[in-house]
Amino acid sequence: MSSVCHNPDSDLREKCTVWQERESEMTRPFMLMIVIVAVHRPASGQEQPIKFEVASVRPSTPPVPEAISGGGRRYAASCQGGPGTRDPTRLSCPHINIARLIFQAFDLKPYQCKFPSWMSSAWFALTANIPVGATKEQLRLMEQDLLAERFKLSAHFEKKKMLVYELTIAKSGPKLKQTGKHHEVPEDSPSSSNAAQPAKLERDADGFPLPPPWFGPMSATFKGGRMRIRAIDRTLPEFASFLSSRFAIPVQDATRLRGNYDIMLTCSAAFFGSVATQVGESAMSAASTPGGIPTCPEALRQQLGLQLTREKGLVDFFVLDHIEKVPTEN
Mean of all residue pLDDT scores within the chain? 78
What are the distances in angstroms from CA 274 to CA 15, 99, 280, 292?
A: 10, 19, 8, 18
Q: What is the span of the domain harbouring residue 7?
A: 2-322
- Where is mean pLDDT largest: 41-55, 153-167, 180-194, 209-223? 153-167
Is residue 330 assigned to a domain?
no
What percent of the chain clears pLDDT 90, i.e. is strictly above it?
52
Is residue 327 assigned to a domain?
no
Structural domains of the chain, count: 1
Is residue 180 assigned to a domain?
yes
Q: Give 266-296 pLDDT, tens digit per residue.
A: 999 888 876 544 444 555 666 677 678 898 9
215 vs 108: CA distance, rounded Å: 20
Is residue 149 assigned to a domain?
yes
Under 8 Å between Cβ of 244 and 109: yes
What's the pLDDT band for 73 if we cut at 50, 70, 90?
low
Mean pLDDT of 153-171: 95
Question: DSSP alpha helices (H): ranges in the chain?
Answer: 98-106, 136-150, 236-247, 296-299
**Burial degree of 316 (CB within 10 A; 0-12, 13-18, 19+):** middle
Handedness of CA 50, 56, 62, 65 (dihedral sign): negative
Q: Look at residue 271 and give its three-state secondary structure.
A: helix
Is residue 328 assigned to a domain?
no
Is residue 329 assigned to a domain?
no
Q: Look at residue 161 and give its three-state secondary structure.
A: strand
Q: Which amino acid is located at 299 in the chain?
A: A
Q: What pTM did the predictor assign?
A: 0.70
130 vs 53: CA distance, rounded Å: 6
Is residue 201 assigned to a domain?
yes
